[in-house]
Amino acid sequence: MEPAKKKRQRRYCSPLLLGFIAICRRNTMQNFQQVRNRDSFLNRRICFDWLTLSLVAIYFAVFKLVCIPKVLQQGLKVCCVFFVVLFLVTNLKGRDWKHPSIPFCLVVVVSSVAGYLAGYVDSTNCIDALFYSICLYALALLISTCGRWGRIDTFINVFFWMTVVYCILSIAFIAKVGVADGPLLYYFAGNKFSTSYYFILLACLTYVRLHRAGVSGKTVTAVAAGLGLLALVVARAVYCSTAVAMSALVVVLVFLPREAQRLLEKPTVIIAAMIMTGVILVFLSSLLQTPLVKHFVVDILGENLTLTGRDLIYSGLQTVISGSPVFGYGYGNAAVAMHVGYGNAQNSIMETLVNYGVVGLMAILYMVWTCSKRSKRQWSWGMFILLYAMIAGSVVEITYNYFFFIALMAILVSSDRRATEERFEQEKQGTDCGKRPLVGR
């Protein structure tokens, strides 16, 4: 009879024990939330778990180290993407795979296959298109997973410190290699354009990180504006006029009042700004003759009124786009080079139409609308600053790149209320142990 008695005792004590553990865990989480805002900006440590390592890997995959041999670049990228995909496959289920980036990723592949069948691109371009789509989709899923698991701080911290390292090493390479007015000189992780964008990304991530750390608004504004000025100085030093204007815009947007921020956060305003960057090409020659614009382009940026020959490129784009308007010519095509003698369209809207056609442009606009249509936390304004900087640069450059997409993906998770609600429910019910460790979440 003694064993049966012990068995009954275990059944009686087990609910009490589980209830006690649940209360302790809930109190621990509440205490953590109370002291979280008192943490120093630099005191926060990163918990190195599989999610953190996957974020580091995807950063290396999307921002290649051009300072190493190309074979090593490709090998590192493949290994990093494989690691990230393995993490996603083993942790995501059902609706976790849903993301607004899916239509655009599919269009990239379909357009490239259609371009291959039509003879616009070769098999290498098709493989690159597939890999680009996988990489972009994996990045989107990782960031959305951070939001769903209540790990937004992990995403911000990893990308912040990785960007700090990239910026420091970029300055070292600039000092060693020197500067030149051309896109063919490469530094640590890109040419003059990419290098300048890293500093813009740093300013925006700092804005986000300080806001989430509970730092006062004036301090956040001052630090972010200072880093925006640093980005401007670096862009000026490497002769990147486009990034100079983008950095100046970052500084201006940092000081906007909250009412103006809410207006610019509306998806209709964002899409209108994107469309205007393409429509403006129709009036560009007349616009450049106005005294204010002429002074800004010639005297401040140091460019000529042809925008370094871009007017000739823009005049030939209508012929190029009309040749394949629906799905474009595919990823990595040479259509613009064949018609106007330059590698790309020098405008993000036009480049999207050339590569992926009207369908591709609609897929990007759908992604912008879906990511920005919900209510936002105030810290997300840092990502809107990055988004608008990329949109402003898209007038004369190809800035619908990973910087642009990171901004959109971060804005999406900032509006996901499930990130905190689901986390609280897991803590309350004691279901957050197992494959998703509590520490560092």
DSSP string, 323-370: HSTTT-S-TT--HHHHHHSSSS-SSHHHHHHHHHHHHHHHHHHHHHHH
What residue numbers bound the domain in which 284 lies?
14-36+47-429
In a domain, 22, yes or no: yes
In a domain, 441, yes or no: no
* 236, 244 contact by CB (below 8 A): yes
In a domain, 27, yes or no: yes
* 151, 441 contact by CB (below 8 A): yes
Taking alpha carbons only, the member of 53, 47, 54, 380 closest to residue 205 is 380
In a domain, 187, yes or no: yes
In a domain, 42, yes or no: no
pLDDT tens, position by position, 245-285: 999 999 999 999 999 999 999 999 999 999 999 999 887 77
Write down the pLDDT at residue 22: 57
Write down the pLDDT at residue 44: 52
In a domain, 208, yes or no: yes
* 274, 367 contact by CB (below 8 A): no
The total domain count for the chain is 1
Write down the pLDDT at residue 15: 55
The rounded distance, in Å, linking the Cα atoms of 434 and 297 is: 58
Write down the pLDDT at residue 299: 74
Residue ranges of the chain whose pLDDT lies below 50:
1-13, 16-17, 24, 27-43, 419-441
In a domain, 145, yes or no: yes
Contacts 24+ apart (CB under 8 A), 45-51: 46/154, 46/157, 46/158, 46/161, 46/440, 47/154, 47/439, 47/440, 47/441, 48/440, 49/437, 49/439, 49/440, 50/87, 50/91, 51/87, 51/142, 51/145, 51/146, 51/149, 51/151, 51/154
pLDDT tens, position by position, 113-123: 999 999 999 99
In a domain, 439, yes or no: no
The three-state secondary structure class of 299 is helix
pLDDT tens, position by position, 152-162: 999 999 999 99
